[in-house]
Chains A and B, each alone.
Chain A
Amino acid sequence: MQLSLQQLVPIPLREKVLAHESQVWNKDIALQNGYTFIQAPSGTGKTTLIHILYGIRTDFTGRVAWGGQQINDLSAAALAALRTTEISVVFQDMRLFPDLTTWENLEIKRSLAGNIAEDEVIDWLAQLGIADKKDSLAATLSYGEQQRVAIIRSLLQPFKWLLLDEPFSHLDKANTAKAIILIDNIVKRNKASMLIADLDANEHFSYTQKLVL
């Protein structure tokens, strides 16, 4: 599924994003299948871009289309279907339910699509070193633990694109490496594409495309 952007400019950041040269904002681009890295220094609208692509923000000019379908034209039901079977996301601010346990945070997503078995989720928790946090409230987890839960949650559905907004910002090198392996495996299993937006250049994955925001 191709992601195409045409003259995309976020309205609240219009002056700011047009003040410097960007390979994304106000350009016509088509993101090819594969791993895309978007390097986005602070204040260039990285999170805004992820939110626009995921359909959370609609305050932009230009066009965003997933597989030829404009995201602004989608009904609430179509958007929900897109988010359940086509696109998944790891938010920069994790967005877990603080009053739910780790397991409940995962189960509320897993039960929606139902394509991942419970045992596999337990296995992934173990892979990322948070199996013992299964019954802990999300509010009591450290940022690093929350980030790992958010990563696992994003993998609990079928998807064609995985959007990641600074996915390893709270993780040390060892945990980052474990998360990279898990993400890479599941993206490949889904035959999906991935878009990572981060502050600095990195070589976490074999990127097919690199852009500067």
Chain B
Amino acid sequence: MAGITRESILRKLLLQRHKSSRLWAALLALCIGTTLLLLSVMIWWNFSELLSGHGDNDSLGSTFLTISKRVTDDKMGKPELTIFGLGDIAALRTAPQVQDVGVLTSSRFHVYATISVSMGFGTDMFLEAAPDRFIDKIPSGWQWHQGDNDVPIIISNEFLSLYNYGFAMSAGLPQLSASSIQSLTFTLKVGEGDRQDRYRAHVVGFSDRIASVLVPDSFIAYGNRYYGMGAISMPTRLIVKARDPSDKQFVSYLQQHDYTTNAEQLRWNKLRSVVTVVTAATGILSILLLSIGALVFILFIELTIARAQQSITLLLQLGYAPRYLSSFMVKRFFPMLLGTVMVAGIVASGVQYIAAIKSRSLNLSLPHLPGWPVWAALAISTLLLFILVARAIARAIR
């Protein structure tokens, strides 16, 4: 007879006695729980990406700290006491939370910079070099070879702010945007006496991590060797990559050794601690909600099966295998589960996309799609849900 199939009869026997409002409530709870779980993983992942300085995120290189020895009254006039020895550096590498240590090599030669004739601005200055892996974002043209007349420079964003809001205002000089500074050409007069050269210098980038004027390592090495007459340059400042600089053990290590650091970076890490707590709280809440959603859904299935128990008993007596009936129920409920987690995945992707667009305006870079931990959380939660539901169905139909 057309239209009457085993499937349609089984649906009539096993599934018509459930209340659809309860089903929707269970699915909604599951969907909200899964979405919250994905969002909490997403928030955690995005902040990890931003705070660990991955990608193009210049502004939040918060795990990088510059460290120097505190200049006290006793140490004044004794520069050798503010120098980091090899032992200090090796010890710092094994300090709590420390992932990497780099040396900021400073120039040991005379440098005089002039911006341009028309502005008539010139100043003595010093240069530093940091290992490339510690630079926020390597700008294009960040290289210098012996014989090159052009020297790329990275300056600290703090310096730009100091100039624009302090020096320029008080000296009646024009304020400069980041792009206008990059278009300026500096003249660097390097060295003294017989060994003196002029170089053209351009600002090619800005740094949030290192409060200094940076040039490529190769330029400092050449300069110290040639203009500095081979002076050995022991570092007075180090750059440290730390997992969590707000960690008490790390802070205590710095205090014990009388090291100072940039407090602003620590502030970012306090923010990270707050984000971690908020993310963990959201995560726990979402797992709780997801568990409740799963429980309600499983109870709904068990109730549906209990209501159809008489039919199931008779079907088993007629020769239907429990496995067949379980698989029929599983096929009925799994698409609902799949739909629910797909909605959660779509919502999470949408939120990530919006976050990526919004973060652009803050000069941050986030991916347009959720990171792998979000998909891993989705896959694991879906798998767990499927296993729990399949087991509940198999247990109920025996």
Residues of A within 8 A of B (CB): 54, 56, 76-77, 80-81, 83-84, 95, 97, 99-100, 103-104, 107-109, 111-113, 118, 153, 157
Task: Taking A81-B319, A83-B317, A108-B315 as given, write out 16 further A-B residue pairs in contact, using a Cβ cutoff of 8 Å, ordered by the A residue number.
Answer: A76-B316, A76-B323, A95-B314, A97-B314, A99-B12, A100-B9, A100-B13, A103-B4, A104-B12, A107-B5, A108-B9, A108-B10, A111-B6, A112-B318, A112-B319, A157-B319
Quick one: closest B residue to A104, CB to CB? B9
Q: Is A80 in contact with B320, judged by CB distance below 8 angstroms?
A: yes
Could you tell me the distance between the alpha carbons of A113 and B9 in the complex, rounded to whole angstroms? 16
Cβ-based interface call for B162 (8 A): no
| Cβ 8 A contact of B322, one of A54, A76, A113 | A76
> For A80, A100, A103, A107, which residue has the most chain B Cβ atoms within 10 angstroms?
A80
Q: Is B318 in contact with A108, judged by CB distance below 8 angstroms?
A: yes
| Cβ 8 A contact of B398, one of A76, A103, A153 | A76
| 8 Å CB interface, B7-34 against A | 9-10, 12-13
Could you tell me the distance between the alpha carbons of A59 and B211 in the complex, rounded to whole angstroms? 86
Residues of B within 8 A of A (CB): 1, 4-6, 9-10, 12-13, 311, 314-324, 398
Could you tell me the distance between the alpha carbons of A108 and B1 in the complex, rounded to whole angstroms? 12
How many A-B pairs have beta carbons closer than 8 Å: the answer is 60
Q: Which 7 A-B pairs have the closest CB atoms?
A: A83-B319, A80-B321, A84-B319, A111-B6, A76-B322, A108-B9, A104-B9
Could you tell me the distance between the alpha carbons of A106 and B350 in the complex, rounded to whole angstroms? 51
Judged by DSSP, the binding face of A is helix
Chain B residues with CB below 8 A from A107, complex form: 1, 4-6, 9
Q: Is B316 in contact with A80, judged by CB distance below 8 angstroms?
A: yes
Cβ contacts A to B, 15 pairs, < 8 Å: A76-B322, A77-B322, A80-B324, A83-B317, A83-B318, A99-B12, A103-B4, A104-B4, A107-B1, A107-B6, A108-B10, A112-B318, A112-B319, A112-B320, A113-B319
